[in-house]
A = this chain, B = another copy of it.
Amino acid sequence: MDKEIGITVKKNENFSEWYTQVCIKSELIDIRYNVQGFIVHRPWATKIIKNIFKIFERELEKTGHQPVIFPTVIPEENFEKEKEHVRGFKPEVFWITEAGEEKLDRRLALRPTSETAFYQMYSLWITSWRDLPLKLYQSVSVYRYEKVTRPFIRGREFLWIEAHNVFETHEEALKQVREDMENSRKVIWEQLGIPFLFFKRPKWDKFAGAVDTYAADTLLPDGRVLQISSTHDLGQNFSKAFEIVFIDREGRRKYAWQTCYGPGIWRIVAAIISIHGDDRGLVLPLNIAPIQIVIIPIIYKDSDKDKVMDKCNKILETLLEKNYRVHIDTRDKTPGWKFNDWELRGVPIRIEIGMKEVEKNIVTIFRRDLRKRMLIEDDKLIETIEFLEKDILNVLKNRAEKFLKENIITARNREEIIEGLNKGKIIRISFCGKEECAMDLKEKTNGGKIRGILLGKPEENFDEKCAWCGENAVNTVYVAKSY
């Protein structure tokens, strides 16, 4: 492969440079757009993103969510209504102040998140318990004035889904939080193969305006965790600010209970690139790959061309009939160049067809995940592809889960915490529960953060004392450096 085309650094040696090269060289994006933090999604990324949206939307609709499209702009007055929310988000808001030759009479925010757009309308739509539950979502861009930006990880414009739900009781809202976590598990883990830990965030690290925040962290190869999804118990904070009131089954006037859920589509793409990718580039599971199977004709003599192309076309037809996304690469390049190019882009399955395959009635199949070739008989094609569709995802899942598990350690004192953080570990500690201690830890470890209490399995405090400050421990938490 041409040096300038292929990835020139190893993922384990220089993750940051490897990541940038994969983003650019697999033609996912272009970062040369002339506004910082706003990137161009090229066709390869756009198709992957659309496939991920589709998987999430299907799962959300199964649990009773309906799609909406809300305005991109939010008037400043809406923002002001929930005090914590405005305090948290205002420093990050882009403001529209002019239109044509005119100065607007009030500022309009580019939505950084849409609570204050949705809930304005919810107060109009909800009057009775019969209107509940209300479960709506949208798949959109949001905008935040971030200082430091990085493709798919932190942008001034980024893509996500936001679901905004309303219930009669707090119990139902908490049940929704669990449903959201299950949605993340079903999509991000089961279908995209990205493992994560779901934490209840400490109270000083909540979503602005929430009662409690629950968030999924995955671990990137450089030892920093990345939040890829979060769901928030909003309690009645916003329903009181926006007057979302309903008449309950007993005829009483009540404030509604709310949740919001945000799978970070952009960050999930970042996790897929970083965790599944290897030194040759992207590695994609079939369910999101823009091209699932690429067919490469291998023609050494002009006289072989018709026979080889004929077989390629037959295979194409067979696979198209089964609804696979297939492509024959007929570009005027060598087979080796094409192999490298499609490996860089992460196409999960490659089929190579030359005279050997024509004469022996076989197909050469290369799987991107293991970089292994196999020869199969023509009539085993479909069953092999069906097997690979599952097996490739399983290989990616197992590899990713192994990496995450291997990098979770337990620490009992400051030295072990510092050593673990330096090695890029997620660290389990007994903790005093105090914000001052968390801030001290963060400062002295140059960024180590309390990610929260692990959800899913109850954990007892394994030490009586906080591993950082030595005071009485109240719970077990996880510490990590993060994006």
Contacts and interface: CB of A to CB of B under 8 A. Distances in A.
Contacts of A73: 35, 38, 157
Contacts of A107: 98
* Contact residues of A: prevailing secondary structure: mixed
Interface stretch (A45-53, A372-380, A463-471): A45-53
A62 B136 CA distance: 33
16 contacts: A30-B125, A32-B124, A33-B70, A33-B71, A34-B120, A38-B73, A39-B71, A41-B68, A41-B70, A46-B66, A92-B99, A94-B98, A95-B96, A96-B110, A97-B97, A100-B145
5 A-B pairs with the lowest CB-CB distances in the bound complex, closest first: A38-B71, A43-B66, A41-B69, A99-B145, A95-B98
Contacts of A45: 69
Interface string A60-99: 0000001111111101011000000000001111111111
Interface of A: 30, 32-35, 38-43, 45-47, 49-50, 66-73, 75, 77-78, 90-102, 107-108, 110, 117, 120-121, 124-125, 136, 138, 141, 143, 145, 157, 159
B95 A67 contact: no
A68 B93 contact: no
A67 B94 contact: no
Contacts of A30: 121, 124-125
Contact of A46 (B41, B42, B68, B141): B68
A78 B25 CA distance: 26
A136 to B, nearest CB: 7
Q: For A38, A50, A77, A99, which residue has the most chain B Cβ atoms within 10 angstroms?
A: A99
A69 B98 contact: no
Nearest to A42: B68
A78 B34 CA distance: 9
Nearest to A45: B69
B72 A141 contact: yes
B97 A40 contact: no
A217 to B, nearest CB: 26
A329 to B, nearest CB: 15
Contact of A34 (B75, B102, B143, B159): B75
Contacts of A67: 43, 46-47, 50
Given A32-B121, A34-B78, A121-B40, A157 B100 contact: no
Given A33-B71, A35-B108, A40-B70, 19 more contacts: A30-B124, A34-B120, A38-B72, A40-B71, A41-B68, A41-B69, A41-B70, A42-B68, A43-B67, A43-B68, A46-B66, A47-B67, A71-B157, A73-B157, A94-B96, A94-B98, A96-B110, A97-B98, A100-B145
Contacts of A38: 71-73
A38 B33 CA distance: 28
Q: For A35, A47, A121, A157, which residue has the most chain B Cβ atoms within 10 angstroms?
A: A35
Contacts of A136: 43
